Amino acid sequence: MSTNSMCCLFVSMTVWASFIGATPTRADSPFDLDSLFAVSVGGPAAVVSLQQVRYVKVTGKLTYNGQPGRFTEYLMPPDRILLELSFGQFSVAQGFDGRIAWQRDQNGRLMEISGYEKRELIKSLYFETHAYLDPSRRGNSVSYKGTVVREDTGFYLIAFIPSEGDTVLAYFNGTTGVLAQMLSRLDNVQTVTYFDNYQPVNGILTPMRTQLEAPEVPLTIEFDAESCRINEPFDSAVFSMPVEPDTGYRFVSEGDSVRVPFSYRAGHIYVPAVINGKRRVWLILDSGASATIFNELAVAEFDLEAAGTIPAKGMGGFTEVMMVRIDSLQVGDVFLYGQIGGVMDLSGIGHQGADGAPFGGVIGFDFLSRFPVLVDYGDSSLTIYRPERFRTPDGGTSVPFRLVMQVPAIEGALSGVPGDFIVDLGNAYGLILHKEFVEKNRLDTLLVDIRETGALGGVGGAVDGRTGVARSFDMGPLYLDSLRVMLPGLSQGLAGSSELAGNIGNMVLESYKVLFDYRRSQITFYPAGPAAP
């Protein structure tokens, strides 16, 4: 049921872009790559100006899937960037200080990012700092692919291969030298960025309007720059990941931990919770959810104020989610305050509790990232630890993880084939393999007893596929043999991810007690038994 909410906000957001031309060229004239690059920023004088750029700050308006907002971008060549976006009631940010890439989500949660999220941010730096103009940095990373005609217009097609990230295709107008659009990919999502309204800034021709589209999501972001200031100094500390205390929760009791019984049904962990001190509901605990998503029927009576919409990425694809703010969410003796979460119809996923309380939705990163949480399938309980007093109990096997769109991913190997697998408490099944991982490694030849299976439900739609038995599966140092795995047929959503090999769910995890510790970036597996560690 994994939902990934905010990552797509940051797909190739080139605001202060670099390829804008003034001096005409012709698509039928002899081609010179270096000359085009000089033309694209305004000529030789502009290239000299670029070499003197030390500080850039851009501010303006944005429209995100029709929602109005604001943006601010800071840039310090060659390797620092910060982009801040705000929409009504919430804001998000992403930054890179030359070493650490980080993100702040809609609830103010700060986290280091890695993998393709980090690569996308570094890729935007590659373009925005004009690395493609510097022969010492460019190397063989730029190639001319010839001329193409699109909608009766001729373009020079250039392929850029940043040191971080996938190939980007850029289309320069064959008559004016202006960059018209760029095509890129984020995992299995294609994006296209358009540039126009070019204006000179310190002699450098710059697009004051940029529009990014990801039709598969669907996602459209429009940036309209109102101010672009170059070489006006600002504090370089803005690029560093902030160190801020988390004041968004409270333990009612004075103990070191809180125990919360849960109901384990049909492969889902149902946790009792109270919304705004009024409505008792059952929430599915879902480490694959990057935001809390409420079932709209459970919160309809609250008349919650909308805070915008975002696309959510699930196992079967993408869907649009409305965001709302709630005053409080209580789980046991722990309160979360002022949380922004999504609202959508989840009635086809969950069930009401045995006590008659309704199904209220899913809870994941917003909850699990704040404190260590032990999931004990044997006695159907969560233990929520007070983070400032926590020490990892002995007797377990700890496996490091990295966050991928706010979801923990660990290194593993299926029948000896390595890959990164997310650990997903919202997955009611076992190990689900992603289509590209299966096809790339021809895993169907390594599996036995392959069978057709029914649809798997979740955010983004159902997924059909097959099952098979793998000889072995390693989760870090842990080893499982003769494991039945699922092979979805879709190439969309998480099931089509090219970055992630698969999804580890409860039918695998229930053989252990599982401790999630986001602050230490590790998951610890304990032997199943009657007593919690």
Q: What is the pLDDT of residue 57?
A: 96
Instruction: Give Cβ neighbours of residue 302 (< 8 Å, ≥ 6 apart).
Output: 275, 276, 278, 279, 326
The amino acid sitting at 381 is S
Torsion of CA 428, 434, 435, 437, to 10 degrees: -150
Q: What is the pLDDT of residue 459?
A: 47
Tens of pLDDT, residue by residue over 242-283, are 987 777 899 998 899 999 999 999 999 999 999 999 889 999
Q: What is the pLDDT of residue 318?
A: 58
Three-state SS annotation for 390-415: CCCCCCCEEEECEEECCEEEEEEEEC
Three-state SS annotation for 225-249: EEEEEECCCCCHHHHCCCCCCCCCE
Tens of pLDDT, residue by residue over 468-497, are 999 999 998 999 999 999 887 655 555 557
Residue closest to 195 by CA, chosen among 209, 183, 205: 209
What confidence category does residue 136 fall into, taking pLDDT thresholds of 50, 70 and 90? low
Ranking 179-188, 307-316, 412-421 by mean pLDDT, the lowest is 307-316
Q: What angle do CA 434, 113, 8 make, to 5 degrees?
A: 65
Euclidean distance between CA atoms 353 and 261, whole angstroms: 13
How far out from the chain centre does Cα 33 lie?
35
Q: What is the pLDDT of residue 1?
A: 41
What confidence category does residue 126 fall into, taking pLDDT thresholds of 50, 70 and 90? confident
Torsion of CA 370, 521, 323, 424, to 10 degrees: -110
Pair 265, 494: CB distance under 8 Å: no
Pair 302, 294: CB distance under 8 Å: no
Q: What is the pLDDT of residue 321?
A: 79
How far out from the chain centre does Cα 531 lie?
36
Q: What is the pLDDT of residue 493?
A: 53
β 417-423/478-488 pair status: unpaired
Pair 195, 181: CB distance under 8 Å: yes
Euclidean distance between CA atoms 109 and 524, whole angstroms: 22
Tens of pLDDT, residue by residue over 200-216, are 999 998 899 999 998 77
Burial class (CB in 10 A: 0-12, 13-18, 19+), 466: middle
* Coil, strand or helix at 7: helix
Q: What percent of the chain is modeled with pLDDT above 70?
A: 85
For the cut 90, the answer to whether the pLDDT of residue 515 exceeds it is: yes
Residue closest to 521 by CA, chosen among 422, 370, 400: 400
Q: What is the DSSP letter of 519?
A: T
Pair 445, 434: CB distance under 8 Å: no
Q: What is the pLDDT of residue 87?
A: 80
Q: What is the pLDDT of residue 499?
A: 82
Ranking 4-13, 167-176, 478-487, 512-521 by mean pLDDT, the lowest is 4-13
Pair 436, 496: CB distance under 8 Å: yes
For the cut 60, the answer to whether the pLDDT of residue 21 exceeds it is: no
Residue closest to 510 by CA, chosen among 391, 436, 402, 430: 430
Segment of 81-95, 142-156, 271-285 carrying the highest mean pLDDT: 271-285
* Coil, strand or helix at 438: helix
The amino acid sitting at 111 is M
Q: What is the pLDDT of residue 359?
A: 92
Euclidean distance between CA atoms 449 and 467, whole angstroms: 8
For the cut 70, the answer to whether the pLDDT of residue 177 exceeds it is: yes
Euclidean distance between CA atoms 528 and 378, whole angstroms: 7
372 strand-pairing partners: none
For the cut 60, the answer to whether the pLDDT of residue 3 exceeds it is: no
- pLDDT, the chain, mean: 84
